[in-house]
Amino acid sequence: MASILIIDDESNLVRSLTFALEDEGHAVHGAGTAADGLAKAAELQPDLILLDLKLPDMSGLDVLETLKARQIEAQVIMISAHGDTRSAVKAVKLGAADYITKPFDLDDLSMTIHATLERRQMAAELEFHRGATIQESGMLGASLAMRDLLGTVERIAASAAMRILVLGESGTGKALVARTVHSASPRASGPFIEINCASLPEQLIEAELFGAEKGAYTGAHQRRVGLVALADKGTLFLDEIGELPLPLQAKLLHFLENGQYRPIGSGRAQTSDVRVVAATNRDLAAAARAGTFREDLYFRLNVIQLNIPPLRERASDVPALIEHFSRLFAREERSKPITVSEDARQALMQYRWPGNVRELKNLIERLTILYPGTEIGAETLPRELVDAEAPLTATAPIHASQGAANIEDALASTEREMMLAALRDAGGHKGQAAERLGISRHAFKRRLQRLGLG
């Protein structure tokens, strides 16, 4: 049960409340003055304080403010005299959890205490799970940029903000941020629905978002439920929002403004309670000025903005990411994780990572497949990475997709050669070839298929 401190100068009341609350299993302490109560609060750190508004040496409101200033996190229930509810309401505004008026019924007080402690427990559990979700989400890094981002994500997730815009270069993890915002929010028990606005043709994306009635268009052989409806009481993630066709932008704006939408072919408006997280690697402000993106939609989406730093601006996070992905892919491949030598680590930290975290993740996946359980030296890394002419401090331009593709091509070529060599040495026996490479037969067959060799 709970630890309860009663601060009240009526000794008989304190005594009777102590007996009653101890019978319920609580540990109860009493104080007859504000000074004694504050001292015991600091010493005991109780779960809950019953605080009288009228004390001989200080008002209950002053005690409440002092408790807050001293960061004593107990829940406070104010006890007010009959007719003094105005002060009790003021106390609630100052942070008290509730109030009860003298004379009161013990059953009413017990119910108030129980409800207050239950709210405290639920809040603590929610805070714990939010923190755990942030830590387990894969948003790793101890750099100042990542600490700032993680703190902002946590605050936004807990807030009532319904429109969030996530900005960042390709590969920085915008979808991961969106999922983390959802998972660490009060909407975590609701659905997380994701759509890539560039992945569907213009004539289908409206039906995908808002739904369509049977026969509404050619090929609509049955009623389609849109993603907006499916995301009710949850989160809708609109990736690559900058690619949304202009005609559909107006319909999305209408939904964002009043929560209403109309499926294609329907004459009846519907509503959905949805937190919308949109993401893009485009400069939406510039697109709005150029007329390729609706300015009013941009402002509606940009209520809360999250900017994800590129990996080159948080090089100190690269070692933690390497370790995380090494363990991840070792589990997937059922092999031992790779390790990275100091010279290789320095090379990876100096590289500009035009493909950001996604590029690093792909690199570690391939190295895990090619060299399971071994230490990776700088000589093992793709030459394009080690010999990159643009270190972190350089200003020479680099084409992101070209840089990432060079490394991917080099790794794919090396992987292909090793797979074929293992097959030759094993006389074409896939199980023996996988054993020679130190990976599972399943992983070996999967890689063959991906390389077009299976």
Domain residue spans in the chain?
3-126, 137-309, 312-450
Coil, strand or helix: which one is 392? Answer: coil
What percentage of the chain exceeds 70 in pLDDT? 85
pLDDT at 450: 66
The CATH-assigned architecture of domain 3-126 is 3-Layer(aba) Sandwich (3.40)
pLDDT at 405: 47
141: left (phi over 0), alpha (psi -120 to 50) or beta: left
pLDDT at 443: 66
**Interval 5-26 mean pLDDT:** 91
Q: In this model, does residue 92 exceed pLDDT 90?
A: no
- What are the helix (H) ranges across 218-271? 227-230, 246-258
How far, in whole angstroms, is CA 141 from its chain's centroid?
A: 14
Q: What is the mean pLDDT of the chain?
A: 83
pLDDT at 400: 38
Contacts of 100-107 with C-beta under 8 Å, sequence gap 24+, read: 104/79, 106/17, 106/20
Q: First vs last Cα of the chain: how many Å apart?
A: 63
Contact 171, 358 (CB under 8 A): yes
- pLDDT category of residue 151 using cuts at 50, 70 and 90: confident
Using a 10 angstrom Cβ sphere, with 0-12 exposed, 13-18 middle and 19 or more buried, the burial of residue 396 is exposed
Higher per-residue confidence, 126 vs 188: 188
Q: In this model, does residue 259 exceed pLDDT 70?
A: yes
> CA angle 239-244-245, nearest 5°?
170
**Interval 145-160 mean pLDDT:** 88
**Interval 5-30 mean pLDDT:** 92
Domains 3-126 and 312-450 share a fold: no
- pLDDT category of residue 235 using cuts at 50, 70 and 90: very high
> CA angle 338-343-345, nearest 5°?
55
What's the CA gap between 5 and 20, in Å, rounded? Answer: 13
Condensed to tens digits (0 to 9), the pLDDT of residues 175-193 reads 999 999 998 899 999 999 9
Condensed to tens digits (0 to 9), the pLDDT of residues 284-341 reads 999 999 999 999 999 999 999 999 999 999 998 999 899 889 988 888 888 889 999 9
Coil, strand or helix: which one is 211? Answer: coil
Contact 75, 49 (CB under 8 A): yes
Tell the CATH topology of 312-450.
Helicase, Ruva Protein; domain 3 (1.10.8)
pLDDT at 410: 58
What's the CA gap between 109 and 297, in Å, rounded? Answer: 51
Cβ atoms within 10 Å of 201's Cβ, excluding its own: 7
Condensed to tens digits (0 to 9), the pLDDT of residues 264-280 reads 988 889 999 999 999 99
pLDDT at 398: 32
What percentage of the chain exceeds 90 in pLDDT? 42
> CA angle 112-115-120, nearest 5°?
125
- pLDDT category of residue 150 using cuts at 50, 70 and 90: confident
Those residues with Cβ within 8 angstroms of residue 76's Cβ, 6 or more apart along the chain or in another chain: 48, 49, 51, 64, 67, 91, 95, 96, 97
Q: In this model, does residue 126 exceed pLDDT 50?
A: no
Condensed to tens digits (0 to 9), the pLDDT of residues 388-402 reads 543 433 333 333 334
Question: What is the full DSSP assignment across 36-84?
Answer: HHHHHHHHH--SEEEEESB-SSSBHHHHHHHHHHTT---EEEEEE-TT-
What's the CA gap between 386 and 346, in Å, rounded? Answer: 9
CATH class of 137-309: alpha beta
Question: What is the full DSSP assignment across 10-31?
Answer: -HHHHHHHHHHHHHTT-EEEEE
Condensed to tens digits (0 to 9), the pLDDT of residues 101-122 reads 888 888 888 888 888 887 776 5
Condensed to tens digits (0 to 9), the pLDDT of residues 312-327 reads 999 989 998 998 899 8
Coil, strand or helix: which one is 203? Answer: helix
